[in-house]
Structure 1
Amino acid sequence: MLDRFSGSVCHRPPAPPPGVPDTLTEILLGLRLDGVEYGRCELRRPWAVAFPAQRAAGFHFVSRGGCWLRTATSDDWMRLNPGDAVLLPRGSSHVLASDPAVPAVDIASLARVAVSENIYLVRGDAAGTSDDGLPDVMFCGTMSFNLDPLHPLVAMMPDVMRAADLAQRDPTVPALLEAMEREVELRRIGACGILARLADVVAATIIRAWVECACSDATGWIAAVRCPRVGKVLAAIHAEPERDWRVPELAALMGASRSSFAEAFTRTVGESPAKYVTRIKMFQARRWIAEGMRISVAAHRLGYDSEASFSRAYKRVIGHPPSETRAERARPRGTGGANLPADAVALAG
Structure 2
Amino acid sequence: MLDRFSGSVCHRPPAPPPGVPDTLTEILLGLRLDGVEYGRCELRRPWAVAFPAQRAAGFHFVSHGGCWLRTATSDDWMRLNPGDAVLLPRGSSHVLASDPAVPAVDIASLARVAVSENIYLVRGDAAGTSDDGLPDVMFCGTMSFNLDPLHPLVAMMPDVMRAADLAQRDPTVPALLEAMEREVELRRIGACGILARLADVVAATIIRAWVECACSDATGWIAAVRCPRVGKVLAAIHAEPERDWRVPELAALMGASRSSFAEAFTRTVGESPAKYVTRIKMFQARRWIAEGMRISVAAHRLGYDSEASFSRAYKRVIGHPPSETRAERARPRGTGGANLPADAVALAG
Give deviations 1:30-77, integer Å, cap 9, x for gaps. Answer: 222222111111222222111111221100011112221111121221
- Structure having greater relative contact order (Cα 8 Å, sep ≥ 6): 2
Q: Is the 8 A contact 2:335 2:344 kept in 1?
A: no
Root mean square deviation of aligned Cα: 4.0
DSSP 3-state at the match of 1:277: helix
Rounded Cα–Cα distance in structure 2 between residues aligned with 1:136 and 1:345 = 25
TM-score (norm 1): 0.91
| Count of residue correspondences | 349
- The alpha-carbon distance between structure 1 residues 345 and 294, as it changes in their structure 2 partners (threshold 3 A), is farther
Q: Is the 8 A contact 1:69 1:77 kept in 2?
A: yes
Q: Is the 8 A contact 2:43 2:125 kept in 1?
A: yes
Q: Is the 8 A contact 1:318 1:347 kept in 2?
A: no
Rounded Cα–Cα distance in structure 2 between residues aligned with 1:257 and 1:345 = 51
Per-residue deviation, 1:233: 0.8
- The alpha-carbon distance between structure 1 residues 346 and 80, as it changes in their structure 2 partners (threshold 3 A), is closer
Rounded Cα–Cα distance in structure 2 between residues aligned with 1:145 and 1:227 = 26
Q: Is the 8 A contact 1:149 1:345 kept in 2?
A: no
Rounded Cα–Cα distance in structure 2 between residues aligned with 1:2 and 1:8 = 14
Q: Is the 8 A contact 2:3 2:159 kept in 1?
A: no
Q: Is the 8 A contact 1:155 1:346 kept in 2?
A: no
Per-residue deviation, 1:5: 4.9
Which residue of structure 1 aligns with residue 315 of structure 2?
A: 315
Per-residue deviation, 1:274: 1.0
Structure 1 alignment gaps of length 5 or more: none
Q: Is the 8 A contact 1:5 1:78 kept in 2?
A: no
Q: Which has the larger displacement, 296-305 or 164-173?
A: 296-305
Q: Is the 8 A contact 1:61 1:86 kept in 2?
A: yes
Give deviations 1:300-330, integer Å, cap 9, x for gaps. Answer: 2222232222221111111122233233333
- The alpha-carbon distance between structure 1 residues 182 and 75, as it changes in their structure 2 partners (threshold 3 A), is same
Q: Is the 8 A contact 2:328 2:341 kept in 1?
A: no
Per-residue deviation, 1:168: 0.9
Per-residue deviation, 1:251: 1.9
- The alpha-carbon distance between structure 1 residues 345 and 302, as it changes in their structure 2 partners (threshold 3 A), is farther
Q: Is the 8 A contact 1:69 1:79 kept in 2?
A: yes
Q: Is the 8 A contact 1:241 1:281 kept in 2?
A: yes
Per-residue deviation, 1:213: 1.2
Give deviations 1:274-309, integer Å, cap 9, x for gaps. Answer: 110110111112222223333333222222232222
- The alpha-carbon distance between structure 1 residues 345 and 43, as it changes in their structure 2 partners (threshold 3 A), is closer
- The alpha-carbon distance between structure 1 residues 117 and 305, as it changes in their structure 2 partners (threshold 3 A), is closer
Q: Is the 8 A contact 1:89 1:340 kept in 2?
A: no
Rounded Cα–Cα distance in structure 1 between residues aligned with 2:65 and 2:346 = 38
